[in-house]
Amino acid sequence: MERSFEKEVRSLRLGAGDTFHGEGILAITKALLQSGVSYVGGYQGAPVSHVMDVLTDAQDLLDDMGIHFEACSNEAAAAAMCAASINYPMRGAVCWKSVVGTNVASDALSNLASAGVMGGTLLLVGEDYGEGASVIQERSHAFAMKSSIVLLDPRPHLPLVVDMVEKAFELSEASNTPVMMEFRIRACHVHGRFECKDNVPAKVSRNAVLTDPSFDYSRICLPPATYAQEKHKIDFRLPAAVDFIRENKLNEVFPGECEDVGIIVQGGLYNSVIRGLQQLGLADAFGEARLPVMVLNVTYPLVSGEISSFCAGKRAVLVVEEGNPDYLEQAINVILRKADLNTRVVGKDVLPMAGEYTLAVVIEGLKKFVEGSVPQGLDHADVARRGDAVVANRVRALELLGKPMPVRPPGFCTGCPERPVFTAIKLVEKEVGDIHVSADIGCHTFSTLPPFNIGNSVLGYGLGLASAAGVAPAFGDKRVISIMGDGGLWHNGLTSGVAGAVFNQSDSVLVIMNNGYSSATGQQHIPSTGTNFRSEPTGQNIRDALKGLGVKWQRTVTTYEVSNMMKTLREALSTKTKGLKVIIAESECQLAKQRRIRPLLRKQLERGERLIRTRFGVDDDVCTGDHSCIRLSGCPSLTIKPNPDPLRKDPVAHVNNGCVGCGLCGETADAATLCPSFYRADIVQNPSGFDRLLNRVRRAVIGFLQGRPAAVA
């Protein structure tokens, strides 16, 4: 996996009187155990992937407590797990990456929210927005409003986060409503401490089993029950949630001396706001602000009385709400107008309508708010000076750099087994012309960036083939190519893509990147791994699944064999065989391979055993300097260096020490008939006596051959 938590999970056994020290993800997991959960499930995706990794490493503890943990096939399956809490007093939690994961789970979520829950239900979503996002820029807030799900956005402070997780289950049970809690990347990885409680065994678990099933038609999502459920949501559940939020003071108010203005902020953005106030001289190093701050740890539903009470007597409040639409700003305006308060609400007029609220953005917004609202008792000139100084420091930093920071777009890792596939597609395009490629979510989406620029659309995880359905017929006899990872295939692609293509007899080509893991999120196990997270064999594989759906044309190719991949692509694009043609491009993720073999190699060296390490290089004398190899590979370890020949100006290609010996550079040079400048070197460590003898013989022969032309001359 990307990270092992084998050592850290010991802290999950801490009890009352102990102090936890660690990362946000571990704190969240500890809070689940202290809350008495019966089951936990989810689907990997940043930033909450590590919840899955932690639970995998904590399997012994989960078994002791009788907690069921399931790595779900997708987010919809995870949300559907929560059905256990509809009829039984079972507390459960599921997690996934939002907003894309919530999109997938939305059908199950609508039904779950309609039926309501008996046992506390917590939906942990990684709010993937802004700088750390790898997906579309949307917010989870809309789903909470649409389905009347309570939405928590806790301040990134571990004692509060743990308390909010525990309170979330109580809130869910008090209102019979599932609760969604969002965590941004920084909140998931913030470090801190809190005082532990004992882990609580669940009321119902594998250690305390159910005896009789419960049936209640009023909990079935089918008319006429759904009509009553909707009315119950509005008339009882949401008011009950509001009462719980108010009575338990889940939202926080930090007073300040400038009582004529205030700030209302989403909990997850609190740290940035306080840091911004510090930079402007409006808060001290301990977070004591001069302006009153209301922290909305619950962003839906809002408690009208709390909002109006905070705003009473204030001329203006700044609403710090990241993203678009401005749900909170609109709702607060309505609350204040209904309360007949004339407090001016400032928000998106001084802060950006969309985009991440970085510290620089927040400081600029705070500065504009202070300038416009003129709080009493502040040295406004000093605030303006400090704000200008922050901007000046950024300008000065750029001047010292001499030029803007270079952009650093993401790309394939060194030795990535998916890169050769796009090299092959690029070379085949030179023969048949440009090909429409329907891309997919995953590492392979990097193909849309230079040097490949391959991929015309990306519509969702596992939807590469389905997204080609409309455009493929428009190309007539010229086939299109769809890309899909093995993670996307098992997540959604089999049903949405392959089954649909076979059913409709689509005449197109699908390339499945099979590296045996859900690689982009940290090498979590999936069906094509062959084992589950407990390392139990599953007997599942892609070829049998495709055959079961009726795919007759299948080819399996090792990705690093560029020439063979080109040959297979040509066949798939030109064969007279109609229907779906699938190429399974197989090779292990290089990161996973290196993590697996490096400890083994290190032990071999420590034992003094002979070890051969393969590296590739470029002969400076042969390289022509046209760099076609780089344009067709894009490997980070394949770069350039100054030409050592004083008579030649063009820099030559160079393989740096990051090389992992995958051989793509040589394969590309051979398949594309480039210059023969690449060479392979086998580095022998702990050489044997024969190796040393052979080395001396080779050196003698090479020296003799090198000296002959000079002797003849």
Q: Can you point out the beta strands (E) in 207-292?
A: 252-254, 261-266
H-state helical runs in 262-418: 270-279, 304-311, 327-338, 359-373, 380-401
pLDDT at 184: 86
Query: Which residues lie closer than 8 Å to 266 by C-beta, 6 or more apart?
Result: 153, 296, 299, 320, 321, 322, 328
pLDDT at 713: 45
Instruction: Answer for the pair 75, 140: CB distance below 8 angstroms, yes or no.
Output: no
What whole-number distance in Å separates Cα of residue 197 and Cα of residue 277?
34
Indicate the DSSP class of residue 442: S
Q: Which residue type does 329 have?
A: E
User: Which residue positions in the chain have pLDDT lower than 70?
Assistant: 1-4, 49, 131-134, 708-713
Query: Which residues lie closer than 8 Å to 599 by C-beta, 6 or more apart?
Result: none
Q: Which domains does the chain have, with CATH numbers?
A: 8-247 (3.40.50.970), 252-401 (3.40.50.920), 419-592 (3.40.50.970), 610-712 (3.30.70)
Q: Cβ–Cβ contacts within 10 Å for residue 262, how many?
A: 27
What whole-number distance in Å separates Cα of residue 324 and Cα of residue 157?
25
| Alpha-carbon 212 to chain mean position | 40
pLDDT at 592: 80
Dihedral (Cα; 83, 87, 90, 91), 10-degree rounding: 60
φ, ψ at 606 (rounded to 5°): -65, -30
Query: Which residues lie closer than 8 Å to 236 by C-beta, 6 or more apart?
Result: 175, 176
pLDDT at 639: 87
pLDDT at 709: 60
Two tokens, residue 165: 């997780």
- Using alpha carbons, select from 307, 414, 433, 358 the residue that is nearest to residue 639: 414
- Using alpha carbons, select from 633, 625, 620 the residue that is nearest to residue 678: 620
Q: What is the DSSP string of 44-66?
A: --TTSHHHHHHHHHTHHHHHHHT
HSE-CB of 68 using CA atoms within 13 angstroms: 17
Q: Which residue type does 469 have?
A: A
| Alpha-carbon 618 to chain mean position | 36
Query: In terms of pTM, does the model score above 0.85?
Result: yes
Dihedral (Cα; 159, 329, 109, 269), 10-degree rounding: -30
Two tokens, residue 159: 């004692």
pLDDT at 4: 62
Give, in degrees to the nearest 5, the angle at Cα 303 between 297 and 308. Answer: 110
What whole-number distance in Å separates Cα of residue 656 and Cα of residue 677?
15
